[in-house]
């Protein structure tokens, strides 16, 4: 056994968090703020989980950098800015991404110190409702005693049966964040947001990109109009789509990967050659090595830790949040749950409003959604009104020369309450926040329509869409 932590010397912890992703580290900070003696066990050498190390942050760093390259090559000339000799420096771009990741993970380490949270480096196992055993990264084990345990172990890459990921020719999203050269032909398996974001990065850096998707649409789960528009815009940028198609084999060799594709509805198989294949067909909850079965913690049919509305598992004193439980696998959902569970443990009334969690695709243009889609409202038989406004009629978007996309606001037909919003366009991920806030306050479309919006801003498109709900948009 190694030296004791301060928490152990003081007679055990109030809370031991397993996993330091956005769920775990935020829960640890909020718990410490509320006076709970808190430790966080993380098996990675750095804090921040999937999101900061191999997810949201490095992917957004590469999206930002590659977007600048794209603008320099193809966007600036229309603004009357000419630059010659624009070149990609891939090692430089990767170094910038690594720096962004390090700044963020070190930032969490600073916050842990500031809040006096014990960071224990090692692999945790639930050894009982009040104890966590840690196989320390540096060797040896440590037994932590605690009043509460929070499982925040996140998720892992979903494999595709029969297709082995070697992170060289056949890569996961993790490999897709650090290729050392630009593949000539990149085939992305899966038309979800991770595949489209990484596909966009490598397309901008020079790859020919083909997205193969099993379903007959990309971005499943988003509003159909958003999916169709995004497909059109990404196609215009040069990405090819093979929808309703499944990959049944991938044979990697020195020179590339030979893929076998089959139509989903049956028909002859065909071959597709790729230099690199990115498998991005989803993520699955990660509970390996946690000892949950022995501890009696129940999982659901999809391997997620089962929790009640207070994030409690079936074993008293053991809680779970984030990607490892039900709900959208998103960093801000995990963070919100982290705050809520810490407040519940401190005797307060923590709560997450799952009806107002935005989802963003950080391609260019971006796509962002909150609340119900038109398809969901139709299926539920809810009568609604839709207001639409295109960015082509927005002054600021014209000045930016970024007029692709639209805002669509969905409001209850009888009460006018906002039920959902869907945006394709410049900075859609930032714009959606206005509607999320409105929904938190129970806003009607009329409230948004009567709110003063600065001119000229992209946000005016939201106001116009709200006006359009009652057929009175001004600028179209």
Ligand X SMILES: Cc1cc2nc3c(=O)[nH]c(=O)nc-3n(C[C@H](O)[C@H](O)[C@H](O)COP(=O)(O)OP(=O)(O)OC[C@H]3O[C@@H](n4cnc5c(N)ncnc54)[C@H](O)[C@@H]3O)c2cc1C
Active centre residues (catalytic): 455
Distances (CA, A) of 416 to 48, 445, 446: 40, 6, 7
Using CB under 6 A, which of 100, 179, 278, 334 touches ligand X? 334
Residue 112 or 389 with smaller CB distance to ligand X = 112
Stretch that binds ligand X, among 52-60, 100-108, 251-259, 461-469 (CB under 6 A): 52-60
Residue from 323, 343, 374, 460 that binds ligand X (CB under 6 A)?
A: 323
Report residue 454 as tokens: 């600065």
Enumerate residues 117-176 that contact ligand X by CB under 6 A. Answer: 123-124, 152-155, 173
For residue 185, the surrounding DSSP H or E stretch is: strand 185-189
**DSSP annotation of 77:** G
Size of the site for ligand X (CB under 6 A): 37
332 counts as binding ligand X under rule CB under 6 A: yes
For position 22 contacting ligand X by CB under 6 A, the verdict is yes
The tokens 């409202």 sit on which residue?
Answer: 377
Please tell me what DSSP assigns to residue 74: I
Site stretch for ligand X (CB under 6 A), options 38-46, 109-117, 257-265, 310-318: 38-46
Tell me: does residue 285 bind ligand X (CB under 6 A): no
Least Å distance, CB 438 to ligand X, is: 20
CB atoms within 10 A of CB 80: 6
Q: Which residues contact 459 (CB under 8 A, 6 or more apart)?
A: 431, 434, 453
DSSP for 86-113 reads: ----HHHHHHHHHHHHHHHHHHHHHHHH
Q: Name, in order, each residue with C-beta under 8 angstroms of 289's C-beta and a sequence gap of 6 or more.
A: 123, 125
190 binds ligand X (CB under 6 A): no
Question: What is the closest distance, in whole angstroms, from the C-beta atom of residue 451 to ligand X in the complex?
Answer: 27
Q: Which helix (H) or strand (E) element contains residue 52?
A: helix 49-54
On whether the CB atoms of residues 16 and 130 are closer than 8 A, the answer is no
Q: Residue 56 or residue 212: which is nearer to ligand X going by CB?
A: 56
379-408 positions binding ligand X, by CB under 6 A: none
Report the alpha-carbon angle 453-459-463, nearest 5: 65
201 binds ligand X (CB under 6 A): no
**What residues does 146 pair with on adjacent strands?**
13
Instruction: Give the x/- contact pattern for ligand X in 235-274, rule: CB under 6 A.
Output: ----------------------------------------
Q: How far is the CB of 342 from ligand X (least distance, A)?
A: 13
Residue 44 engages ligand X in binding (rule: CB under 6 A): yes
CB of 333 to ligand X, least distance (A): 7
Please tell me whether residue 42 binds ligand X under the rule CB under 6 A. yes
**From residue 438, how far is each of 71, 388, 441, 458 by CA, in Å?**
33, 17, 5, 17
The residues near 26 (Cβ < 8 Å, ≥ 6 apart) are 334, 335, 338, 339
The radius of gyration of the chain's CA atoms, rounded to the nearest angstrom, is: 24
Q: Is 289 in the site for ligand X (CB under 6 A)?
A: yes
- Residue 43 contacts ligand X per CB under 6 A: yes
Q: Using CB under 6 A, which of 17, 170, 194, 418 touches ligand X?
A: 194
CB of 174 to ligand X, least distance (A): 7
Interface map 78-117 toward ligand X (x if CB under 6 A) = ----------------------------------------
Least distance from ligand X to the Cβ atom of residue 188, Å? 12
SS (H, E, C) 349-377: CCCCCHHHCCEEECCCCEEEEEECCHHHH
Residue pair 179/59 in contact (Cβ under 8 Å)? The answer is no
From the CB of 177, what's the least distance to ligand X, in Å?
Answer: 7
DSSP letter assigned to residue 246: E
Q: Which of 7, 13, 17, 19 binds ligand X (CB under 6 A)?
A: 19
Residue ranges that bind ligand X, judged by CB under 6 A: 18-24, 41-44, 49-51, 55-56, 59, 123-124, 152-155, 173, 194, 286, 289-290, 322-324, 329-332, 334, 362
């Amino acid at each position: 056994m190694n030296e004791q932590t301060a928490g152990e010397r003081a007679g055990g912890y109030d809370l031991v968090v397993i996993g330091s992703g956005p769920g775990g580290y935020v829960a640890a900070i909020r718990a410490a703020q509320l006076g709970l003696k808190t430790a966080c066990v993380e098996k990675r050498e750095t804090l921040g989980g999937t999101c900061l190390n191999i997810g949201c942050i490095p992917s957004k760093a590469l999206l930002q950098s590659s977007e600048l390259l794209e603008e320099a090559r193809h966007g600036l000339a229309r603004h009357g800015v000419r630059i010659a000799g624009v070149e990609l420096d891939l090692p430089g771009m990767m170094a910038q991404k690594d720096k962004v990741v390090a700044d963020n993970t070190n930032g969490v380490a600073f916050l842990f110190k500031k809040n006096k949270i014990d960071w224990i480096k090692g692999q945790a196992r639930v050894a009982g409702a009040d104890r966590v055993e840690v196989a320390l990264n540096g060797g040896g084990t440590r037994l932590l005693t605690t009043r509460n345990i929070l499982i925040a172990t996140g998720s892992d890459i979903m494999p595709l049966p029969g297709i082995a990921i070697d992170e060289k020719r056949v890569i996961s999203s993790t490999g897709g964040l650090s290729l050392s050269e630009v593949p000539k032909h990149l085939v992305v398996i899966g038309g979800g947001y991770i595949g489209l974001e990484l596909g966009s990065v490598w397309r901008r850096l020079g790859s020919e990109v083909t997205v193969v998707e099993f379903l007959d649409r990309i971005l499943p789960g988003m509003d159909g109009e958003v999916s169709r528009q995004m497909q059109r815009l990404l196609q215009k940028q040069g990405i090819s789509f093979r929808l309703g198609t499944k990959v049944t084999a991938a044979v990697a060799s020195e020179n590339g990967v030979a893929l076998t594709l089959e139509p989903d509805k049956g028909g002859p198989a065909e071959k597709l050659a790729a230099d690199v294949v990115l498998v991005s067909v989803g993520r699955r909850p990660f509970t390996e090595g946690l000892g949950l079965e022995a501890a009696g913690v129940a999982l659901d049919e999809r391997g997620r830790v089962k929790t009640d509305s207070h994030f409690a598992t079936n074993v008293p004193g053991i809680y779970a949040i984030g990607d490892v439980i039900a709900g959208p696998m998103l960093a801000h959902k995990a963070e919100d749950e982290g705050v809520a569970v810490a407040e519940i443990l401190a005797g307060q009334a923590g709560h997450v409003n799952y009806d107002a969690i935005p989802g963003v695709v950080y391609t260019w243009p971006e796509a962002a959604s909150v609340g119900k889609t038109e398809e969901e409202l139709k299926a539920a038989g809810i009568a609604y009104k839709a207001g639409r406004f295109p960015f082509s009629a927005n002054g600021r978007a014209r000045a930016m020369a970024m007029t692709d996309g639209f805002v669509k606001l969905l409001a209850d037909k009888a009460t006018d309450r906002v039920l959902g919003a869907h945006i394709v366009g410049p900075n859609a991920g930032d714009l959606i926040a206005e509607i999320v806030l409105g929904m938190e306050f129970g806003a009607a479309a009329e409230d948004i329509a009567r709110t003063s919006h600065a001119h000229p801003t992209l946000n005016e498109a939201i106001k116009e869409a709200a006006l359009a709900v009652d057929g009175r948009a001004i600028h179209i």
